[in-house]
Amino acid sequence: MQIIDYKNVELCHDEIIVLHDINFAVDEGEFIYLCGKTGSGKSSLLKSLYADMPIKRGEARIFDYDLSKISRRQIPFLRRKIGVIFQDFQLLHDRSVRDNLEFVLRATGWKVSRQIDDQIDLVLNTVGLPKKGYKRPHQLSGGEQQRIVIARSLLNSPQLIVADEPTGNLDPDIAAEIVGLLHEISRSGTSVIMATHNMSIVNRYPAKTFVVENENIREK
């Protein structure tokens, strides 16, 4: 089943064209790489998926939402279907891993403490860190912090994971582990779109690849 369908889409930032004539589709459970140089527009395309970059022209649908017409009231509901992974982690360093995850759950409407604890246990197990919940982020390695960020992205059982250069700050072996984990998540039925300029990772874990360059996107 198709979850994303972009047809002749144009993205602009402050009236400057970032990408144009985008034709791009993603199926349920599919793993997609977005490759391109820094500044090519990869991040802008990812932001458009969760309505943080407006659609200037064209047809852009994700799940049951028309991104060219989406209302402010609809955006929080769209974003609960999408888990976002950032390169710079964006973890809160004044609290434990579990408290970081609980903060997100309560902010998205979870109220029952037992259900919150069970969901935190589930995502920590999924990323292979069941015993790290009581540590603070600064007590973890870079690879462990990125696994926690992946756990955070899974909290609301998203249909889509969007990962913007998730291996950019990691050494090659740890980067490979993180990409392998994202592929496992994809095989479980969650679509994953990963932006990267690291072609060695793409070659090691092959999947459908789109190249972003010259204000456009094409399948490799």
In tens digits, the chain (220 residues) has pLDDT values of: 899 999 999 998 888 889 999 999 999 999 999 999 888 899 999 999 999 999 999 999 999 999 999 999 999 999 999 999 987 778 999 999 999 999 999 998 899 999 999 999 999 999 999 999 999 999 999 899 999 999 999 999 999 999 999 988 888 899 999 999 999 999 999 999 999 988 899 999 999 999 999 999 999 8
Rounded CA separation 35/32 (Å): 10
Rounded CA separation 101/48 (Å): 25
Q: What percent helix, strand, coil does the chain show, rounded to 5?
A: 35, 30, 35
Q: Does residue 207 come out as left (phi exceeding 0), alpha (psi in the -120 to 50 range) or beta? A: beta
| pLDDT for res 132 | 94
Q: 216-219 and 208-213: which strand pairing?
A: antiparallel
| pLDDT for res 38 | 85
| pLDDT for res 169 | 80
Q: Give the distance from CA 167 to its chain's centroid.
A: 12
The share of the chain scoring above pLDDT 90, in percent, equals 85
21 contacts 216 by C-beta, under 8 angstroms? yes
Residue 95, SS3 per DSSP: coil
| pLDDT for res 88 | 78
Instruction: Kindly calculate the radius of gyration of the chain based on its CA atoms and give it in whole angstroms.
Output: 17
User: Distances from the Cα of 154 to the Cαs of 125, 179, 219, in angstroms?
Assistant: 11, 15, 27
138 contacts 93 by C-beta, under 8 angstroms? yes
| pLDDT for res 86 | 81
Query: What amino acid occupies position 132?
Result: K
| pLDDT for res 192 | 97
Q: 208-213 and 31-35: which strand pairing?
A: parallel
| pLDDT for res 170 | 86
Query: What amino acid occupies position 9?
Result: V
Residue 133, SS3 per DSSP: coil
